Amino acid sequence: MRWLFPHMSDEAVSLAVTCVRKLAHMTEYGILALLIFRGLRPGKAKYLDWNRSTACLAFALAVLYSATDEFHQAFVPSREASLRDVLFDAAGAGLAVFFLWLFRRRRPKSPSGNELQTT
């Protein structure tokens, strides 16, 4: 940060680093939720086929993993556990599942109700 903005105050640098770290956590757990969602889909189901119960399970598993990761950090001397971090991680997982739902909802469908195939 100092290289990009040499006149930035220490407080501003700290705030910027914190924001970037929290956004990175949200992104990581969003990706985790999407990967879990994909992994839970039945063998022949398309990756983007929407299923509410699968989405809820993917979200819950991502949040559970976040909580266990924070619990683990409580035992590492150089780290500290934070409920706030679990909330940021849950927000990232929730946003990813929500955007998947939005994307799926906006995809065109054929008259038979199946997705149009694009190549």
Domain boundaries of the chain, sorted by first residue: 23-106
Where do we find the tokens 């985790």? 32
- By CB atoms closer than 10 A (0-12, 13-18, 19+), residue 60 is middle
- Overall pTM > 0.85: no
Q: For residues 28 and 92, what is the distance between their CA atoms, to the nearest angstrom? A: 8
Please provide the distance, in angstroms rounded to a whole number, between the alpha carbons at the two ends of the chain. Answer: 43
**24-79 pLDDT tens trace:** 999 999 999 999 998 988 766 665 677 899 999 999 999 999 999 999 999 999 88
Other Cβ atoms less than 10 A from the Cβ of 85: the count is: 19
